[in-house]
A and B are shown apart, each in its own frame.
Chain A
Amino acid sequence: MKPISIPAVNLKRPRLFGRLSTEETIWGWLLILPTVLGLILFKFGPVLASLYFSFTKYDIITNPKWIGLTNYRTMVNDKFWTKSIEVTLNYTSLFIPLSIIVAYVIALLMSQDLKGISVYRTMWYLPSLVPTVASAIVWRWALNPEFGPVNYPMRLLGLEVPGWLTDPHWIIPSVVLIQLWGLGNAALIFLAAIKGVPDTYYEAAEVDGANTWTKFWKITLPMTSSVVFFQLIMAVISSFQVFGVAYILFGGQTTSDPAGPGNSALFYVLYTYRNAFGYFKNGYASALAWVIFVVIMLLTFLLFRTQKAWVYYEVEGGE
């Protein structure tokens, strides 16, 4: 969802109604007024407030009390914080590459002229529409080590069934699996991009004797790299913020229960949520939130820096 750049509206084109007019300025600001107010009320105000809270002790009922860097110092020795980082990094390092690669491969396979492609498209896409809660309850049952249908084929093959949602080693892979169920959306985005590559490129390559493999690496992938980049940014931003599945499957009856055995599902945002709305440590929660915010910003920034090396933009050499 992260736009890459802001192409300026063509100011060069002579307009019928002259240059910047007062009338247009008034209308412009009038139309974006709700949005500007929204940015102030729900983005900038809260961001600044949360930065301030992060330096305070704040339980919402009494006024925030300034404690300087204490919250940030506490974090370093907080073993739950360390755990939540470990959990989140385990998850993202598995989910981000898998979601991109699997979705891309599916898209490639779908891009061949298969009969009934629209039916397959629907089959792959529908799961991405399922609400988190509904998907969590179905998967909790499907991954039940005793009765879950996922185990049925595994048992037939004589494989040992892991404790998907109970064994600390399998929890993260299971959450990745559940989230991958919704990858149809990304697959269809890739499919649209792959289909958008002009046939003439492939024809020219065939004349030069290129095989399928070469065509993929030299044409398909570079031509769709901007969409891959876009999806990668999206995956980074969203996968660091996993909350719903973790809360529903491992949130426990109360916030003092461990999130999964040994807190093996203590995702970062879940831990932040617990601090805010479970332990009423809003200052600490704000500090936690700021840390993940900075991490996401840094990662996005770094990805943008790598962009030139591998992302190809067709028009204007990288808008």
Chain B
Amino acid sequence: MRRSNFFKRLLGLLIVGGGGLIMLMPFVFLISSSFKAPNKIYVFPPQLIPDPFRWQNYTEVFEAVPVLRYARNTIIITVFSTIGTVISTILAGYAFARLRFKGRDLVFSIMLATLMLPYVVTMIPIYVMFSKLGWVNTLLPLIVPSFFGDAFFIFLLRQFFRTIPMELEDAARIDGASRLRILFQLMVPLARPAVIVVTIQSVLDNWNAFMQPLIFLTKRSVWTLALGLNSLQRFETGRDWTHYLMVLGVFMVVPVIILYFIAQREFIQGIVLTGMKA
């Protein structure tokens, strides 16, 4: 019994630990390649430590590619979309969790059903709509819809709001607090973990978004980092810029990793929250 337990643990350690290291390898190579000279990236065997270190990749890339513009666009989209998502989903999440009104359950179940709806189905009419508004090649199509809720986040917040004892809210109401005050001064602080999860997830979704920016942003001036990266890897310039590509890759990945280490606890909580069914 003891023996088998030992072997089981060893096996676990080997797979989980060794596998974990393998999972990290692409990161390691991404970072290492970003410091390589272009002719040192495609060599065999692959170099783990760049020789020589080409620090100037990180300065030259700004001249070769409008990185700052891409970054600025990405950040604008991410910030405003997240603000919109957080506000609109808190409002709806609270209403679905705590207020009783006619039609509530119906709207809620219809909303949940839309989770099954593939984006390809709605993308053409949405494109037509935004192009009629003259919003194509502006950042608006990527920001404005965020102010109109998100089924999954609303569901998540509702589940969390429901766990907060009713008595707290009742007490506040007796004291004469208004609905909005109850929501923002009592419920939102109590649901902080869930609100943070929604915020983080929304930031990630927007930062990583690819298909929607691809559809709505065709001019270089409004491109996001993801689109810039995509155009570089297609060798649209006709030159081998793999080393710059890797630098841009680092620019996209590093903020996400920093965010993870800042909010590690909330990430894990998010996994638990999002993984659970109703």
Contacts and interface: CB of A to CB of B under 8 A. Distances in A.
Interface of A: 1-9, 11, 13, 15-17, 19-20, 24-25, 27-29, 31-32, 34-39, 41-43, 45-47, 49-50, 53, 60, 106, 109-110, 112, 114, 119-127, 129-142, 144, 146-149, 151-152, 181, 184-185, 188-190, 192-193, 212, 226-227, 229-231, 237, 240-241, 243-244, 247-248, 251, 253, 269, 272-273, 276-277, 282, 285-286, 288-290, 292-293, 296-297, 300, 319
A188 B272 CA distance: 8
Given A35-B154, A47-B121, A282-B124, A226 B277 contact: yes
B97 to A, nearest CB: 7
A9 B124 contact: no
B49 interface: no
Interface residues of B, number: 109
B118 A126 contact: no
Nearest to B114: A43
A238 to B, nearest CB: 10
A112 B257 contact: no
B276 interface: yes
Q: Which of A8, A34, A133, A184 has the most CB of B within 10 A?
A: A133
Given A50-B125, A247-B214, A269 B120 contact: yes
A129 B126 contact: no
Nearest to B251: A134
A110 B16 CA distance: 7
Interface of B: 8-9, 11-13, 15-17, 19-21, 23-27, 29-30, 33, 41-46, 88-89, 91-92, 94-105, 107-112, 114-129, 131, 145, 147-149, 152, 154-155, 162, 166, 170, 173-174, 179, 204, 207-208, 210-211, 214-215, 226, 229-230, 233-234, 236, 242, 245-246, 249, 252-253, 256-257, 260, 264, 267-268, 271-272, 274-278
A16 B170 contact: yes
A160 B20 CA distance: 25
A181 B23 contact: yes
Q: Top 6 closest A-B pairs, CB basis?
A: A38-B148, A189-B275, A123-B20, A35-B149, A28-B101, A46-B125
Given A132-B208, A137-B245, A189-B271, A241 B118 contact: yes
19 contacts: A3-B278, A6-B105, A27-B99, A31-B94, A42-B122, A46-B123, A46-B129, A50-B125, A110-B12, A112-B9, A120-B20, A122-B260, A131-B252, A137-B246, A147-B41, A237-B115, A241-B118, A244-B210, A277-B215
A283 B72 CA distance: 36
B271 A192 contact: yes
A273 B257 CA distance: 31
A126 B230 contact: no
Contact of B211 (A11, A188, A243): A243
A79 to B, nearest CB: 20
A183 to B, nearest CB: 9
Q: Name A's interface SS.
A: helix
Contact of A34 (B15, B27, B148, B152): B148
Nearest to B232: A137
A236 to B, nearest CB: 10
A231 B162 CA distance: 23
Contacts of B108: 6
Contacts of A34: 88, 91-92, 147-149
